[in-house]
Amino acid sequence: MFKGKKILITGGTGSIGQAIVEELLKYRPEVIRIMDMNETMSHILHEKYKKHKNIRFLLGDVRDKERLRRAMEDIDIVFHMASLKHVLDCEYNPFEAIKTNVIGTQNVIDVCLEADVERVVFTSSDKAVNPPNVLGATKLLAERLITAANYYKGKRKTKLSSVRFGNVMGTRGSVIPIFKNQIKAGGPVTVTDKKMTRFMMSPTEAVKLLLKCAEMMKGGEIFIFKMPVIRPIDLAEVMINEASQEKKIEIETVGPKPGEKTHEELMTAEESKRALETDDTFILLPEIVNTDLMPKNLLSYDSYNAKPAEFKNYSSSNVKPLTKEEIVSLLKSEGLL
């Protein structure tokens, strides 16, 4: 479905943006436009991909609707990944998070509808579930904006859906690079809480989920990958053991940052009432499906080759975390050790 297509990736110079570019190139799209505000990374990637004549780098902000209009011309598929992503930064700068994560997402929606784009995939976060922080609240609202656009798009062909990511291993600002730097400096390695759990996914899994969403989407759904759970304390101990077996490096518990949760959730119990389940993915259907505005086949489990999900709260506290041996295997398979 990507061969010969024109694709736009907002926020495309990030770790997942780079991973999806690598994957999309295999399918020979006509063009991939990468729009980002990070001039340095755009320049670095421009050099990296200079032999690929079908990649374009655009400097621009999703807050700027006019810039989006130029970037969106003749585009078929949009992966909307541009956002402010760090809990603490959003807590201290809440309206900046709103400008990018909420207003920026609405700008993307408006321009996609104007351009009659075929498909729009928005990257959300498990932090959107029962959010106690600004980041999660803005991601939840952005999800609702994406779903609602399917109701008021009129006769336009555009379909819009979301994916919920967990913590993506090895991405910039994630815990693995932080632990690596702390170990390199001789410690201590800092963890928030020894009881903390997190859903973790590899960059490979993140790209798989994005492409699967683009392929399966009918409009309005939220796709959620079934991710393993890791305790950061176990991850820290594994990385210390693998990196520095001679020198003892201490682990320091520093307590939660503002807005930080002890456990994350993939879905609430209420959401699970309208969720489907495949072997590796949950598909959360929009609440408003009994209307002519939504596709009738959203009501059919068979259309997704899925079954109803179990009614429960899908929290990382209720999932058996990976063993240290399993963590080592996962990190090595992704080249992170």
Q: What angle do CA 279, 282, 284 make, to 5 degrees?
A: 155
| pLDDT score of 299 | 53
pLDDT digits (tens, 9 = 90+) for 1-42: 899 999 999 999 988 999 999 999 999 999 999 999 999 999
CATH number at residue 98: 3.40.50.720
Q: Is residue 14 part of a domain?
A: yes
Range of the domain at 82: 6-166+201-226+265-314
pLDDT digits (tens, 9 = 90+) for 87-110: 999 999 999 999 999 999 999 999
Confidence of residue 203 (pLDDT cuts 50, 70, 90): confident
Given the residues 6, 127, 212, 218, select the one marked as catalytic: 127
Q: Is residue 328 part of a domain?
A: no
Q: Is residue 137 part of a domain?
A: yes
| pLDDT score of 293 | 53
pLDDT cut 70: percent of the chain above it:
95
Fill in the DSSP letter of residue 319: S
Q: Is residue 85 part of a domain?
A: yes
Q: Is residue 325 part of a domain?
A: no
Q: Is residue 123 part of a domain?
A: yes
pTM, two decimals, is 0.93
pLDDT digits (tens, 9 = 90+) for 300-333: 666 788 999 999 999 999 999 999 999 999 999 8
Q: What angle do CA 57, 63, 67 make, to 5 degrees?
A: 45
Residues contacting 150, CB < 8 A, separation 6+: 159, 160, 219, 220, 286, 293, 294
pLDDT digits (tens, 9 = 90+) for 119-148: 999 999 999 999 999 999 999 999 999 999
Q: Is residue 142 part of a domain?
A: yes
Q: Is residue 10 part of a domain?
A: yes
Burial level of 54, CB count in 10 A (0-12/13-18/19+)?
Answer: middle
Contact 303, 219 (CB under 8 A): no
Amino acid at 50: K
Residue 236 parent element (H or E): helix 232-243
Whether 3 is catalytic? no
- The domain tally of the chain equals 1
